[in-house]
Copies of this chain bind each other. A is one copy, B any other.
Amino acid sequence: MKKNKKYDCAMGCPVEATLDLIGGKWKGVVLYHLVDGTLRFNELRRRLNGVTQRMLTKQLRELEECGLVVRKVYAEVPPRVEYRLSKQGETLKPIIAALADWGKKRLAAAA
């Protein structure tokens, strides 16, 4: 996420490393929706109520860069670009599921 991020928290804070990847406003949610399978750019956009094109593009690029998401461009007109979890990204599934589950319970309890 950060350019020159050093994980120098001496006693080791692997949590920090993980949150750096899935934190931010949209990354976790993007991942959450990709768990169910491949999605095209605009499909993703519709699922992420309120995200701007710029932001979605940015988040996807970062997720791609750190190897969690795969971007596949089809040489067609109109253009088609699909996004899916990489092998690395797949390993996040249980975590995403846990986050979603916890969030559901919390939202339910608050209501």
Number of A interface residues in the complex (CB < 8 A): 42
Please state if B22 and A19 are interface contacts (CB–CB under 8 Å): yes
The complex places the Cα of A60 from the Cα of B45 at a distance, in Å, of 34
Please state if B95 and A18 are interface contacts (CB–CB under 8 Å): no
Give the residue of B95, B100, B101, B104 whose beta carbon is less than 8 angstroms from that of A99: B95
Give the residue of B18, B49, B99 whose beta carbon is less than 8 angstroms from that of A18: B99
> Is A11 at the interface (CB under 8 A from chain B)?
yes
Q: Nearest-CB distance from A3 to chain B (Å)?
A: 15
Q: Which residues of B contact A92 (CB under 8 A)?
A: 102
> Is A57 at the interface (CB under 8 A from chain B)?
no
The complex places the Cα of A50 from the Cα of B23 at a distance, in Å, of 19
| A1-24 interface (Cβ within 8 A of B) | 7-19, 21-24
- Can you list 10 A-B pairs with a CB-CB distance of less than 8 A? A9-B49, A11-B49, A13-B48, A14-B99, A14-B104, A15-B32, A16-B29, A17-B106, A19-B23, A19-B29
